[in-house]
């Protein structure tokens, strides 16, 4: 995976700022920076370049007053905690395993409050 997530960026950071920072540290990148508020994405030509960028920048290089965080970009479907039926991390409810059936049951928080007010 060669796509990088660049986080902890100030609101005033531009794609040109990131390009200059990568160029100054001799880190190759391919394509353009996809800018969002506070973070960005960029592709690297290969995994070695991606690892070099992570090792060089993450927590070590400051850009416009904030220390950049760089890591491999992980698609939404693979991140933990987003799908309550796949993960046990459910801040808005309760995940119960049903042994023997191979299923998981998700009980939303509002149902828990309605059914079990004495326990809260």
Alpha-carbon dihedral 94, 95, 99, 101, rounded to 10 degrees: 120
* Structural domains present in the chain: 3-73 (3.30.70.330), 83-119 (no CATH)
The residue ranking higher by pLDDT, 104 or 57, is 57
Identify whether the C-beta of residue 22 lies closer than 8 Å to the C-beta of residue 73.
no
Q: Is the pLDDT of residue 114 over 50?
A: no
Residue 75: the pLDDT is 79
């Amino acid at each position: 995976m060669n796509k990088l997530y660049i986080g902890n960026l100030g609101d005033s950071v531009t794609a040109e700022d990131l390009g200059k920072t990568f160029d100054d540290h001799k880190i190759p990148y391919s394509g353009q920076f996809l800018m969002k508020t506070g973070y960005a994405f960029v592709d690297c030509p290969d995994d070695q370049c991606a690892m070099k960028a992570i090792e060089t920048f993450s927590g070590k290089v400051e850009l416009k007053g904030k220390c950049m965080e760089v890591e491999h970009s992980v698609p939404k479907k693979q991140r933990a905690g987003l799908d309550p039926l796949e993960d046990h991390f459910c801040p808005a409810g309760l995940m119960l395993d049903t042994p023997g059936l191979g299923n998981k049951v998700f009980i939303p928080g509002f149902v828990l409050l309605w059914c079990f007010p004495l326990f809260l």
